[in-house]
Amino acid sequence: MKEFVTEHQSPYLDLTTEVSDILYKGNSEYQDIIVAESREFGRMLVLDGVFQTSVKDEFIYHESIAHIPLFLHPSPKNVLIIGGGDGGAAREAVRHPEVEQVTMVDIDGKVIELSKRYFPSIAKAMLEGNPKLTVRVGDGIGFMKEAADFYDVIIVDCSDPVGPGEGLFTYDFYKSTYKALKKDGLFVQQTESPFMHQPLIQNIWASVSDIFPITRLYTSFIPLYPSGMHCFTMGSKQYDPLQWTPNRNRIFPTRYYNEGIQRSAFVLPNFVKDLLYGEKER
Amino acid sequence: MKEFVTEHQSPYLDLTTEVSDILYKGNSEYQDIIVAESREFGRMLVLDGVFQTSVKDEFIYHESIAHIPLFLHPSPKNVLIIGGGDGGAAREAVRHPEVEQVTMVDIDGKVIELSKRYFPSIAKAMLEGNPKLTVRVGDGIGFMKEAADFYDVIIVDCSDPVGPGEGLFTYDFYKSTYKALKKDGLFVQQTESPFMHQPLIQNIWASVSDIFPITRLYTSFIPLYPSGMHCFTMGSKQYDPLQWTPNRNRIFPTRYYNEGIQRSAFVLPNFVKDLLYGEKER
Protein backbone atom coordinates (compact mmCIF):
# COMPACT_ATOMS: atom_id res chain seq x y z
CA MET A 1 0.00 0.00 0.00
CA LYS A 2 1.35 3.37 -1.00
CA GLU A 3 1.92 6.03 1.66
CA PHE A 4 1.77 9.78 1.19
CA VAL A 5 2.35 13.03 3.03
CA THR A 6 0.24 16.04 2.19
CA GLU A 7 0.57 19.70 3.01
CA HIS A 8 -2.57 21.78 2.89
CA GLN A 9 -0.86 24.75 1.29
CA SER A 10 -4.08 26.71 1.57
CA PRO A 11 -7.67 25.76 2.41
CA TYR A 12 -8.04 24.89 -1.29
CA LEU A 13 -4.65 23.60 -2.35
CA ASP A 14 -2.82 20.39 -1.45
CA LEU A 15 0.67 19.24 -2.32
CA THR A 16 1.09 15.48 -1.88
CA THR A 17 4.17 13.35 -2.28
CA GLU A 18 4.49 9.60 -2.11
CA VAL A 19 6.78 8.36 0.65
CA SER A 20 8.63 5.10 0.89
CA ASP A 21 8.95 5.28 4.66
CA ILE A 22 7.87 7.29 7.68
CA LEU A 23 11.00 7.40 9.82
CA TYR A 24 9.54 9.32 12.74
CA LYS A 25 6.07 10.38 13.73
CA GLY A 26 5.52 11.97 17.08
CA ASN A 27 5.36 15.31 18.76
CA SER A 28 7.30 17.70 20.90
CA GLU A 29 6.04 20.13 23.49
CA TYR A 30 5.38 22.55 20.63
CA GLN A 31 4.36 20.71 17.51
CA ASP A 32 3.64 17.50 15.61
CA ILE A 33 6.71 16.19 13.84
CA ILE A 34 7.08 13.81 10.90
CA VAL A 35 10.28 12.70 9.24
CA ALA A 36 9.46 10.97 5.95
CA GLU A 37 11.46 9.49 3.10
CA SER A 38 9.67 11.02 0.12
CA ARG A 39 10.07 9.80 -3.43
CA GLU A 40 10.06 13.31 -4.86
CA PHE A 41 12.10 15.44 -2.46
CA GLY A 42 14.13 12.85 -0.58
CA ARG A 43 13.96 12.95 3.20
CA MET A 44 11.60 15.60 4.51
CA LEU A 45 10.81 17.30 7.82
CA VAL A 46 7.14 18.09 8.38
CA LEU A 47 6.04 20.24 11.35
CA ASP A 48 2.34 20.60 12.17
CA GLY A 49 1.58 19.32 8.67
CA VAL A 50 3.78 21.92 6.95
CA PHE A 51 6.72 20.82 4.79
CA GLN A 52 9.76 22.49 6.36
CA THR A 53 12.76 21.20 4.51
CA SER A 54 13.83 18.42 2.17
CA VAL A 55 17.19 16.97 1.33
CA LYS A 56 16.64 17.71 -2.36
CA ASP A 57 15.82 21.41 -2.24
CA GLU A 58 17.11 22.63 1.15
CA PHE A 59 20.21 24.20 -0.38
CA ILE A 60 18.06 26.84 -2.02
CA TYR A 61 16.37 27.99 1.16
CA HIS A 62 19.45 27.83 3.36
CA GLU A 63 21.79 29.54 0.91
CA SER A 64 19.17 32.23 0.30
CA ILE A 65 18.51 33.00 3.96
CA ALA A 66 22.20 32.92 4.97
CA HIS A 67 24.42 34.14 2.15
CA ILE A 68 22.39 37.08 0.93
CA PRO A 69 22.50 38.93 4.30
CA LEU A 70 26.01 37.70 5.14
CA PHE A 71 27.53 38.88 1.86
CA LEU A 72 25.68 42.17 2.10
CA HIS A 73 27.44 42.89 5.39
CA PRO A 74 31.13 43.64 4.73
CA SER A 75 32.29 42.15 8.02
CA PRO A 76 29.77 39.88 9.75
CA LYS A 77 31.42 38.69 12.98
CA ASN A 78 28.55 37.94 15.34
CA VAL A 79 25.56 36.16 13.91
CA LEU A 80 22.33 35.17 15.63
CA ILE A 81 19.96 32.61 14.16
CA ILE A 82 16.50 32.47 15.67
CA GLY A 83 14.81 29.18 14.86
CA GLY A 84 16.69 27.20 12.23
CA GLY A 85 16.56 24.03 14.32
CA ASP A 86 17.46 21.81 11.37
CA GLY A 87 20.90 23.45 11.36
CA GLY A 88 20.95 24.39 7.68
CA ALA A 89 21.27 28.16 8.15
CA ALA A 90 24.03 27.61 10.72
CA ARG A 91 25.87 25.27 8.33
CA GLU A 92 25.96 28.03 5.71
CA ALA A 93 26.82 30.83 8.16
CA VAL A 94 29.93 29.15 9.58
CA ARG A 95 31.40 28.84 6.08
CA HIS A 96 32.13 32.58 6.03
CA PRO A 97 35.67 33.12 7.33
CA GLU A 98 34.65 36.57 8.61
CA VAL A 99 32.03 35.03 10.89
CA GLU A 100 33.48 34.46 14.36
CA GLN A 101 30.48 33.24 16.27
CA VAL A 102 27.06 31.96 15.40
CA THR A 103 24.46 31.58 18.12
CA MET A 104 21.42 29.55 17.19
CA VAL A 105 18.37 29.61 19.44
CA ASP A 106 15.51 27.29 18.61
CA ILE A 107 12.59 26.77 20.96
CA ASP A 108 12.16 23.10 20.08
CA GLY A 109 14.98 20.84 21.22
CA LYS A 110 13.23 17.86 19.69
CA VAL A 111 13.61 19.35 16.20
CA ILE A 112 17.33 19.82 16.82
CA GLU A 113 17.69 16.26 18.09
CA LEU A 114 15.76 14.73 15.18
CA SER A 115 17.64 16.82 12.64
CA LYS A 116 20.96 15.56 13.97
CA ARG A 117 19.66 12.02 13.77
CA TYR A 118 17.84 12.06 10.42
CA PHE A 119 19.33 14.98 8.47
CA PRO A 120 23.09 14.77 9.01
CA SER A 121 23.86 16.68 5.81
CA ILE A 122 21.72 19.61 6.96
CA ALA A 123 22.70 19.43 10.64
CA LYS A 124 26.39 19.17 9.67
CA ALA A 125 27.73 22.12 11.68
CA MET A 126 25.81 21.03 14.80
CA LEU A 127 26.92 17.41 14.46
CA GLU A 128 30.54 18.30 13.91
CA GLY A 129 30.51 20.63 16.89
CA ASN A 130 31.78 23.49 14.78
CA PRO A 131 33.71 25.75 17.19
CA LYS A 132 32.04 28.90 15.87
CA LEU A 133 28.58 27.57 16.64
CA THR A 134 26.65 27.70 19.92
CA VAL A 135 23.30 25.95 19.92
CA ARG A 136 20.75 26.88 22.56
CA VAL A 137 17.30 25.51 23.17
CA GLY A 138 15.03 28.27 24.29
CA ASP A 139 12.89 31.23 23.50
CA GLY A 140 14.63 33.28 20.84
CA ILE A 141 12.52 36.33 21.58
CA GLY A 142 13.51 36.41 25.25
CA PHE A 143 17.12 35.66 24.39
CA MET A 144 17.36 38.45 21.90
CA LYS A 145 15.76 40.99 24.24
CA GLU A 146 18.80 40.78 26.47
CA ALA A 147 21.16 41.78 23.68
CA ALA A 148 21.90 45.35 22.67
CA ASP A 149 24.21 46.67 19.98
CA PHE A 150 25.78 43.23 19.64
CA TYR A 151 24.97 41.34 16.44
CA ASP A 152 26.06 42.11 12.90
CA VAL A 153 23.50 39.85 11.25
CA ILE A 154 20.34 38.25 12.66
CA ILE A 155 18.67 35.49 10.66
CA VAL A 156 15.09 34.65 11.58
CA ASP A 157 14.64 31.15 10.20
CA CYS A 158 11.17 30.55 11.54
CA SER A 159 8.20 28.40 10.68
CA ASP A 160 4.87 29.87 9.63
CA PRO A 161 3.23 32.60 11.72
CA VAL A 162 0.99 30.14 13.53
CA GLY A 163 2.10 27.93 16.42
CA PRO A 164 5.51 28.48 17.99
CA GLY A 165 6.62 30.96 15.30
CA GLU A 166 3.79 33.41 15.93
CA GLY A 167 5.68 35.85 18.16
CA LEU A 168 8.38 36.29 15.53
CA PHE A 169 6.12 38.33 13.28
CA THR A 170 5.22 41.19 15.65
CA TYR A 171 6.17 44.86 15.82
CA ASP A 172 7.75 44.31 19.24
CA PHE A 173 9.91 41.54 17.85
CA TYR A 174 11.28 43.81 15.13
CA LYS A 175 11.96 46.51 17.76
CA SER A 176 14.02 44.00 19.76
CA THR A 177 15.82 42.95 16.59
CA TYR A 178 16.75 46.55 15.89
CA LYS A 179 18.08 46.99 19.41
CA ALA A 180 20.10 43.76 19.34
CA LEU A 181 21.91 44.79 16.14
CA LYS A 182 25.05 46.90 15.95
CA LYS A 183 24.79 50.31 14.36
CA ASP A 184 25.49 48.85 10.91
CA GLY A 185 23.65 45.57 11.53
CA LEU A 186 20.92 43.95 9.47
CA PHE A 187 18.40 41.15 9.79
CA VAL A 188 16.48 38.88 7.49
CA GLN A 189 13.37 36.78 7.99
CA GLN A 190 11.61 34.21 5.83
CA THR A 191 8.24 35.78 5.04
CA GLU A 192 6.28 33.24 3.00
CA SER A 193 4.98 33.61 -0.57
CA PRO A 194 4.26 36.94 -2.29
CA PHE A 195 1.77 35.05 -4.44
CA MET A 196 -0.17 33.46 -1.58
CA HIS A 197 0.40 35.41 1.64
CA GLN A 198 0.03 39.01 0.66
CA PRO A 199 -1.57 40.53 3.79
CA LEU A 200 1.09 38.93 6.00
CA ILE A 201 3.89 40.37 3.86
CA GLN A 202 2.30 43.81 3.87
CA ASN A 203 2.01 43.75 7.67
CA ILE A 204 5.64 42.72 8.12
CA TRP A 205 6.75 45.33 5.61
CA ALA A 206 4.84 48.07 7.47
CA SER A 207 6.43 47.12 10.81
CA VAL A 208 9.98 46.66 9.56
CA SER A 209 9.98 49.82 7.48
CA ASP A 210 8.67 51.79 10.45
CA ILE A 211 11.71 50.72 12.48
CA PHE A 212 14.59 50.26 10.03
CA PRO A 213 15.89 52.94 7.67
CA ILE A 214 16.33 50.38 4.87
CA THR A 215 13.71 47.69 4.22
CA ARG A 216 13.98 45.35 1.25
CA LEU A 217 12.39 42.16 0.02
CA TYR A 218 14.02 39.44 -2.02
CA THR A 219 12.72 36.26 -3.62
CA SER A 220 13.91 32.75 -4.19
CA PHE A 221 12.59 29.65 -5.97
CA ILE A 222 11.65 27.09 -3.31
CA PRO A 223 9.89 24.08 -4.86
CA LEU A 224 8.79 22.64 -1.50
CA TYR A 225 6.91 25.76 -0.38
CA PRO A 226 3.51 27.05 -1.51
CA SER A 227 3.59 28.48 -5.05
CA GLY A 228 7.37 27.91 -5.28
CA MET A 229 7.82 31.68 -5.01
CA HIS A 230 9.20 32.51 -1.60
CA CYS A 231 10.32 35.79 -0.12
CA PHE A 232 12.53 37.13 2.61
CA THR A 233 12.19 40.52 4.27
CA MET A 234 15.32 42.40 5.28
CA GLY A 235 15.71 45.32 7.66
CA SER A 236 19.08 47.06 7.57
CA LYS A 237 20.57 49.99 9.47
CA GLN A 238 23.20 50.96 6.95
CA TYR A 239 23.88 48.61 4.03
CA ASP A 240 21.44 48.72 1.13
CA PRO A 241 21.27 45.57 -1.01
CA LEU A 242 20.29 47.71 -4.00
CA GLN A 243 23.71 49.40 -3.76
CA TRP A 244 25.68 46.19 -3.26
CA THR A 245 29.03 45.66 -4.89
CA PRO A 246 31.21 42.66 -4.05
CA ASN A 247 33.12 43.41 -0.86
CA ARG A 248 35.11 40.17 -0.58
CA ASN A 249 35.71 36.91 -2.40
CA ARG A 250 33.54 33.90 -1.83
CA ILE A 251 35.92 31.05 -1.07
CA PHE A 252 33.39 28.20 -0.88
CA PRO A 253 31.21 26.68 -3.59
CA THR A 254 27.43 27.07 -3.57
CA ARG A 255 24.62 25.39 -5.46
CA TYR A 256 22.11 28.25 -5.67
CA TYR A 257 23.78 31.47 -4.56
CA ASN A 258 26.14 33.47 -6.71
CA GLU A 259 27.04 37.12 -7.10
CA GLY A 260 24.40 37.59 -9.81
CA ILE A 261 21.73 36.17 -7.50
CA GLN A 262 22.83 38.57 -4.73
CA ARG A 263 21.58 41.37 -6.98
CA SER A 264 18.79 39.74 -8.99
CA ALA A 265 17.00 38.35 -5.92
CA PHE A 266 16.03 41.94 -5.08
CA VAL A 267 14.58 42.64 -8.53
CA LEU A 268 10.84 42.33 -7.96
CA PRO A 269 8.01 41.65 -10.40
CA ASN A 270 5.52 44.48 -10.63
CA PHE A 271 2.82 42.72 -8.63
CA VAL A 272 5.24 42.35 -5.71
CA LYS A 273 6.28 46.00 -5.94
CA ASP A 274 2.59 46.89 -5.85
CA LEU A 275 2.19 44.91 -2.64
CA LEU A 276 4.96 46.87 -0.96
CA TYR A 277 4.77 50.31 -2.47
CA GLY A 278 1.14 50.50 -3.60
CA GLU A 279 -0.10 50.47 -7.14
CA LYS A 280 1.09 53.33 -9.27
CA GLU A 281 1.14 53.92 -12.98
CA ARG A 282 4.23 52.13 -14.19
CA MET B 1 -19.62 16.95 -1.99
CA LYS B 2 -16.37 18.70 -2.70
CA GLU B 3 -14.81 18.42 -6.16
CA PHE B 4 -11.12 18.62 -7.01
CA VAL B 5 -8.77 18.65 -9.96
CA THR B 6 -5.32 17.09 -9.60
CA GLU B 7 -2.22 17.27 -11.72
CA HIS B 8 0.28 14.47 -11.34
CA GLN B 9 3.30 16.76 -11.50
CA SER B 10 5.54 13.72 -11.43
CA PRO B 11 4.96 10.03 -10.70
CA TYR B 12 5.37 10.94 -7.01
CA LEU B 13 3.94 14.44 -6.70
CA ASP B 14 0.37 15.69 -6.94
CA LEU B 15 -1.00 19.21 -6.86
CA THR B 16 -4.71 19.29 -6.08
CA THR B 17 -7.08 22.21 -5.94
CA GLU B 18 -10.69 22.30 -4.88
CA VAL B 19 -13.08 23.42 -7.61
CA SER B 20 -16.52 24.93 -7.27
CA ASP B 21 -17.57 23.92 -10.76
CA ILE B 22 -16.48 21.94 -13.79
CA LEU B 23 -17.54 24.13 -16.70
CA TYR B 24 -16.42 21.82 -19.48
CA LYS B 25 -15.18 18.29 -19.65
CA GLY B 26 -14.64 16.66 -22.99
CA ASN B 27 -12.04 16.07 -25.58
CA SER B 28 -10.78 17.24 -28.91
CA GLU B 29 -9.12 15.27 -31.65
CA TYR B 30 -5.84 15.74 -29.77
CA GLN B 31 -6.42 15.81 -26.04
CA ASP B 32 -8.71 15.66 -23.03
CA ILE B 33 -9.88 19.09 -21.97
CA ILE B 34 -11.26 20.35 -18.65
CA VAL B 35 -12.28 23.89 -17.80
CA ALA B 36 -12.74 24.18 -14.04
CA GLU B 37 -13.55 26.98 -11.63
CA SER B 38 -10.90 26.42 -8.97
CA ARG B 39 -10.97 27.98 -5.54
CA GLU B 40 -7.24 28.61 -5.50
CA PHE B 41 -6.34 29.79 -9.00
CA GLY B 42 -9.67 30.93 -10.40
CA ARG B 43 -10.74 29.44 -13.71
CA MET B 44 -8.28 26.90 -15.06
CA LEU B 45 -7.60 25.09 -18.32
CA VAL B 46 -6.46 21.49 -17.95
CA LEU B 47 -5.19 19.51 -20.98
CA ASP B 48 -4.53 15.78 -20.66
CA GLY B 49 -4.50 16.23 -16.89
CA VAL B 50 -1.89 19.00 -16.96
CA PHE B 51 -2.70 22.45 -15.58
CA GLN B 52 -2.13 24.82 -18.51
CA THR B 53 -3.23 28.22 -17.37
CA SER B 54 -5.26 29.92 -14.68
CA VAL B 55 -6.92 33.29 -14.48
CA LYS B 56 -4.98 34.10 -11.31
CA ASP B 57 -1.41 33.47 -12.46
CA GLU B 58 -1.53 33.52 -16.28
CA PHE B 59 -0.09 37.04 -16.43
CA ILE B 60 3.25 35.71 -15.23
CA TYR B 61 3.61 33.08 -17.92
CA HIS B 62 2.25 35.18 -20.76
CA GLU B 63 4.25 38.30 -19.93
CA SER B 64 7.38 36.17 -19.52
CA ILE B 65 7.06 34.31 -22.81
CA ALA B 66 6.08 37.40 -24.82
CA HIS B 67 7.75 40.52 -23.45
CA ILE B 68 11.21 39.17 -22.77
CA PRO B 69 11.87 38.19 -26.42
CA LEU B 70 9.90 41.12 -27.83
CA PHE B 71 11.78 43.75 -25.83
CA LEU B 72 15.09 42.07 -26.62
CA HIS B 73 14.44 42.61 -30.32
CA PRO B 74 14.76 46.32 -31.14
CA SER B 75 12.16 46.19 -33.90
CA PRO B 76 9.90 43.13 -33.85
CA LYS B 77 7.50 43.51 -36.80
CA ASN B 78 6.53 39.95 -37.72
CA VAL B 79 5.77 37.57 -34.90
CA LEU B 80 4.82 33.91 -35.08
CA ILE B 81 3.26 32.11 -32.13
CA ILE B 82 3.21 28.32 -32.32
CA GLY B 83 0.67 26.88 -29.95
CA GLY B 84 -0.66 29.47 -27.52
CA GLY B 85 -4.28 28.48 -28.21
CA ASP B 86 -5.57 30.26 -25.12
CA GLY B 87 -4.58 33.54 -26.75
CA GLY B 88 -2.54 34.93 -23.85
CA ALA B 89 0.77 35.23 -25.67
CA ALA B 90 -0.99 36.89 -28.62
CA ARG B 91 -2.72 39.33 -26.26
CA GLU B 92 0.67 40.46 -24.95
CA ALA B 93 2.39 40.53 -28.35
CA VAL B 94 -0.12 42.87 -30.00
CA ARG B 95 0.46 45.45 -27.25
CA HIS B 96 3.85 46.33 -28.75
CA PRO B 97 3.37 49.21 -31.20
CA GLU B 98 6.37 47.93 -33.21
CA VAL B 99 4.62 44.63 -33.86
CA GLU B 100 2.77 44.76 -37.20
CA GLN B 101 1.52 41.23 -37.50
CA VAL B 102 1.13 38.28 -35.22
CA THR B 103 0.34 34.88 -36.67
CA MET B 104 -0.77 32.28 -34.19
CA VAL B 105 -0.94 28.63 -35.26
CA ASP B 106 -2.39 26.14 -32.82
CA ILE B 107 -3.15 22.58 -33.78
CA ASP B 108 -6.23 22.31 -31.60
CA GLY B 109 -9.16 24.44 -32.71
CA LYS B 110 -11.18 23.21 -29.77
CA VAL B 111 -8.75 24.87 -27.32
CA ILE B 112 -9.11 28.15 -29.19
CA GLU B 113 -12.90 27.88 -29.19
CA LEU B 114 -13.10 27.02 -25.48
CA SER B 115 -10.65 29.77 -24.56
CA LYS B 116 -12.78 32.34 -26.31
CA ARG B 117 -15.83 31.04 -24.49
CA TYR B 118 -14.44 30.51 -20.99
CA PHE B 119 -11.34 32.73 -20.76
CA PRO B 120 -12.33 36.04 -22.34
CA SER B 121 -9.66 37.97 -20.41
CA ILE B 122 -6.93 35.70 -21.79
CA ALA B 123 -8.40 35.32 -25.29
CA LYS B 124 -8.94 39.09 -25.49
CA ALA B 125 -7.02 39.78 -28.72
CA MET B 126 -8.71 36.85 -30.48
CA LEU B 127 -12.17 37.86 -29.27
CA GLU B 128 -11.75 41.49 -30.24
CA GLY B 129 -10.49 40.52 -33.68
CA ASN B 130 -7.35 42.57 -33.20
CA PRO B 131 -6.31 43.63 -36.72
CA LYS B 132 -2.69 42.65 -36.13
CA LEU B 133 -3.62 39.08 -35.27
CA THR B 134 -4.21 36.14 -37.61
CA VAL B 135 -5.32 32.92 -35.93
CA ARG B 136 -4.84 29.65 -37.78
CA VAL B 137 -5.80 26.15 -36.78
CA GLY B 138 -3.20 23.76 -38.02
CA ASP B 139 0.18 22.15 -37.69
CA GLY B 140 2.65 24.81 -36.60
CA ILE B 141 5.62 22.70 -37.65
CA GLY B 142 4.39 22.35 -41.23
CA PHE B 143 3.36 26.00 -41.34
CA MET B 144 6.73 27.22 -40.20
CA LYS B 145 8.63 25.00 -42.63
CA GLU B 146 7.24 27.05 -45.50
CA ALA B 147 8.67 30.29 -44.14
CA ALA B 148 12.21 31.49 -44.70
CA ASP B 149 13.91 34.66 -43.50
CA PHE B 150 10.55 36.10 -42.50
CA TYR B 151 9.93 36.37 -38.74
CA ASP B 152 11.58 38.66 -36.24
CA VAL B 153 10.39 36.73 -33.20
CA ILE B 154 8.95 33.22 -32.88
CA ILE B 155 7.25 32.24 -29.64
CA VAL B 156 6.77 28.53 -29.04
CA ASP B 157 3.99 28.43 -26.46
CA CYS B 158 3.56 24.70 -26.36
CA SER B 159 2.29 22.12 -23.90
CA ASP B 160 4.54 19.43 -22.45
CA PRO B 161 6.69 17.27 -24.73
CA VAL B 162 4.19 14.44 -24.78
CA GLY B 163 1.04 14.37 -26.91
CA PRO B 164 0.49 17.06 -29.55
CA GLY B 165 3.49 19.14 -28.39
CA GLU B 166 6.05 16.39 -28.90
CA GLY B 167 7.34 17.46 -32.34
CA LEU B 168 8.12 20.94 -30.99
CA PHE B 169 11.11 19.69 -29.02
CA THR B 170 13.19 18.14 -31.83
CA TYR B 171 16.42 19.13 -33.56
CA ASP B 172 14.57 19.40 -36.88
CA PHE B 173 12.08 21.79 -35.36
CA TYR B 174 14.84 24.12 -34.19
CA LYS B 175 16.43 23.95 -37.67
CA SER B 176 13.13 25.07 -39.19
CA THR B 177 12.85 27.81 -36.58
CA TYR B 178 16.28 29.10 -37.52
CA LYS B 179 15.37 29.14 -41.20
CA ALA B 180 12.07 30.90 -40.63
CA LEU B 181 13.72 33.76 -38.74
CA LYS B 182 15.25 36.87 -40.28
CA LYS B 183 18.99 37.32 -39.99
CA ASP B 184 18.60 39.10 -36.65
CA GLY B 185 15.64 37.01 -35.47
CA LEU B 186 15.20 35.11 -32.25
CA PHE B 187 12.88 32.54 -30.76
CA VAL B 188 11.78 31.43 -27.33
CA GLN B 189 10.16 28.26 -26.06
CA GLN B 190 8.72 27.25 -22.70
CA THR B 191 10.96 24.43 -21.50
CA GLU B 192 9.55 23.21 -18.20
CA SER B 193 11.23 23.25 -14.77
CA PRO B 194 14.99 23.31 -14.19
CA PHE B 195 14.30 21.65 -10.86
CA MET B 196 12.23 18.77 -12.22
CA HIS B 197 12.94 18.27 -15.93
CA GLN B 198 16.69 18.42 -16.21
CA PRO B 199 17.39 15.88 -19.00
CA LEU B 200 14.76 17.54 -21.22
CA ILE B 201 16.33 20.96 -20.71
CA GLN B 202 19.80 19.64 -21.44
CA ASN B 203 18.60 18.04 -24.67
CA ILE B 204 16.92 21.22 -25.83
CA TRP B 205 19.97 23.25 -24.89
CA ALA B 206 22.26 20.95 -26.88
CA SER B 207 20.07 21.22 -30.00
CA VAL B 208 19.47 24.95 -29.86
CA SER B 209 23.08 25.83 -29.11
CA ASP B 210 24.19 23.65 -32.02
CA ILE B 211 22.05 25.74 -34.37
CA PHE B 212 21.93 29.27 -32.95
CA PRO B 213 24.98 31.43 -32.22
CA ILE B 214 23.39 32.71 -28.98
CA THR B 215 21.50 30.36 -26.66
CA ARG B 216 20.20 31.55 -23.30
CA LEU B 217 17.85 30.34 -20.61
CA TYR B 218 15.68 32.46 -18.36
CA THR B 219 13.42 31.68 -15.43
CA SER B 220 10.12 32.84 -14.08
CA PHE B 221 7.99 32.10 -11.01
CA ILE B 222 4.91 30.17 -12.16
CA PRO B 223 2.86 28.93 -9.20
CA LEU B 224 0.63 26.68 -11.32
CA TYR B 225 3.50 24.66 -12.79
CA PRO B 226 5.61 21.92 -11.19
CA SER B 227 8.05 23.32 -8.60
CA GLY B 228 6.98 26.89 -9.37
CA MET B 229 10.34 27.39 -11.07
CA HIS B 230 9.84 27.51 -14.80
CA CYS B 231 12.26 28.19 -17.61
CA PHE B 232 12.31 29.36 -21.19
CA THR B 233 15.02 28.62 -23.72
CA MET B 234 15.96 31.27 -26.24
CA GLY B 235 17.88 30.93 -29.49
CA SER B 236 19.00 34.19 -31.06
CA LYS B 237 20.90 35.04 -34.24
CA GLN B 238 22.19 38.43 -33.16
CA TYR B 239 20.78 40.00 -29.99
CA ASP B 240 22.19 38.73 -26.72
CA PRO B 241 19.95 39.16 -23.66
CA LEU B 242 23.03 39.38 -21.47
CA GLN B 243 24.00 42.58 -23.33
CA TRP B 244 20.53 44.10 -23.28
CA THR B 245 20.00 47.78 -22.70
CA PRO B 246 16.58 49.42 -23.08
CA ASN B 247 15.98 50.11 -26.74
CA ARG B 248 12.56 51.73 -26.48
CA ASN B 249 9.97 52.80 -23.92
CA ARG B 250 7.33 50.43 -22.71
CA ILE B 251 4.04 52.28 -23.14
CA PHE B 252 1.73 49.72 -21.52
CA PRO B 253 1.49 48.55 -17.90
CA THR B 254 2.44 45.03 -16.88
CA ARG B 255 1.90 42.99 -13.74
CA TYR B 256 5.05 40.83 -13.75
CA TYR B 257 7.44 42.15 -16.38
CA ASN B 258 9.61 45.21 -15.93
CA GLU B 259 13.02 46.34 -17.14
CA GLY B 260 14.73 44.83 -14.09
CA ILE B 261 13.09 41.47 -14.80
CA GLN B 262 14.30 41.63 -18.42
CA ARG B 263 17.83 41.36 -17.02
CA SER B 264 17.39 39.38 -13.80
CA ALA B 265 15.41 36.58 -15.47
CA PHE B 266 18.66 35.54 -17.17
CA VAL B 267 20.63 35.41 -13.91
CA LEU B 268 20.75 31.71 -13.12
CA PRO B 269 21.34 29.87 -9.85
CA ASN B 270 24.46 27.73 -9.86
CA PHE B 271 22.63 24.42 -10.16
CA VAL B 272 20.97 25.68 -13.36
CA LYS B 273 24.29 26.88 -14.77
CA ASP B 274 25.69 23.43 -13.99
CA LEU B 275 22.89 21.85 -16.01
CA LEU B 276 23.74 23.93 -19.05
CA TYR B 277 27.48 24.43 -18.87
CA GLY B 278 28.63 21.45 -16.80
CA GLU B 279 29.90 21.54 -13.26
CA LYS B 280 33.05 23.54 -12.77
CA GLU B 281 34.72 24.95 -9.73
CA ARG B 282 32.97 28.23 -9.15
DSSP for A46-107 reads EETTEEEEETTTHHHHHHHHHHHHHHHSSS--EEEEEE-TTSHHHHHHTT-TT--EEEEEES
Probe site for chain A from B5, B12, B20 (most A CB atoms < 10 A): B12
Check: CB of residue B64 under 8 Å from CB of residue B220. Answer: yes
Per-residue pLDDT of chain B (282 residues; tens, 9 = 90+): 899 999 999 999 999 999 999 999 999 999 999 999 999 999 999 999 999 999 999 999 999 999 999 999 999 999 999 999 999 999 999 999 999 999 999 999 999 999 999 999 999 999 999 999 999 999 999 999 999 999 999 999 998 887 777 888 999 999 999 999 999 999 999 999 999 999 999 999 999 999 999 999 999 999 999 999 999 999 999 999 999 999 999 999 999 999 999 999 999 999 999 999 997 644
Last residue of a domain, one of A54, A77, A97: A54
**Closest residue to B16, CB basis, from A14, A40, A221:** A14
- Which of B40, B196, B230 would best serve as a mutation to test chain A binding (most A beta carbons within 10 A)? B40
Q: Would the CB atoms of B13 and A10 count as touching at under 8 Å?
A: no
Report yes or no on A9 lying in a domain: yes
The answer on B9 and B62 residing in a single domain is no
B21 and B120 housed in the same domain: no
On whether both B183 and B43 belong to a single domain, the answer is no
- Dihedral pair phi/psi, residue A32, rounded to 5°: -80, 140
Interface predicted TM-score (ipTM): 0.96
Residue A282 located in a structural domain: no
Residues B155 and B35 reside in one and the same domain: no
A13 contacts in B (CB within 8 Å)? 15-18, 40
Q: Is residue A149 part of a domain?
A: yes
CATH of the domain at B63: 3.40.50.150
Residues of chain B positioned with their CB less than 8 A from the CB of A271: 59, 255-256
Q: How many domains does chain B have?
A: 2
Task: Decide if B30 is inside a domain.
Answer: yes
Same domain, B202 and B243: yes
Are A13 and A135 members of one domain? Answer: no
For chain A, give percent helix, strand, coil, nearest 5: 30, 30, 35
A131 shares its domain with A264? yes
The span from the CA of A189 to the CA of A157, in Å, is 6
Quick check: is B43 in a domain? yes
In a domain, B255, yes or no: yes
- Tell me whether residues B10 and A229 touch, CB distance under 8 A: no
Give yes or no: residues A85 and A114 share one domain: yes
Query: Are B43 and B68 found together in one domain?
Result: no
Please check whether residues A129 and A232 belong to one and the same domain.
Answer: yes
Asked if the Cβ–Cβ distance from B16 to A17 is below 8 Å, we say no
The alpha carbon of A174 is separated from its chain's Cα centroid by a whole number of angstroms, namely 15
| Parent domain of B15 | 3-54
